[in-house]
Structure 1
């Protein structure tokens, strides 16, 4: 398993989180399942379950010229959100 850092750019703000996952597709699913949409300013709460369900059907695209970086672009109402997924390799400090 690897740690994936997810960076969401939406409505002029940036939100970051991490999930542990086998691959970028599974990381996207884990992020959708763990996301607290109430913490995202302007995110449409009434449509959030449907939006996140549809997002899980998307395949992250590799970002050219970078290693272990993908992104997903999706519509949120009339806005566009960009979610970056970055496979992070590190030793846990415990």
Structure 2
């Protein structure tokens, strides 16, 4: 398992969380499930999670140019961009 840090920029807010997962895509799937279950963005939670999963799965996570171990996925929700960055993270313990 790897530790992934996920950073969502959406509607003027930045939301940061971490997940243990086998792959970056698995980390995104876990994040999307938590987003839907906990309704972390209120009414926007489901469409953001659904849009990010479609982008991450169907279009694959896009590696951030010039970086190693960093990917992104995006979705447009009611005219607002939801940009998710996924970064493999080193444990310090």
TM over 0.5: yes
Q: Distance in 2 between matches of 1:13 and 1:55?
A: 16
After superposition, the CA RMSD in angstroms is: 1.9
Task: State TM-score, norm by structure 2.
Answer: 0.80
Report 1:1-94 matches (<5 A).
1-35=1-35, 36-37=38-39, 39-40=40-41, 43-44=43-44, 48=46, 51-58=48-55, 59-92=60-93
**Higher Cα radius of gyration:** 1
Q: Distance in 1 between matches of 2:67 and 2:48?
A: 28
Count of matched residue pairs: 87
Q: Distance in 2 between matches of 1:14 and 1:62?
A: 20
CA separation of 1:57 and 1:71: change in aligned 2, threshold 3 A? same
Task: State TM-score, norm by structure 1.
Answer: 0.80
Q: What is the CA distance between 1:12 and its match in structure 2?
A: 1.1
- Structure having the larger proportion of residues in helix: 2
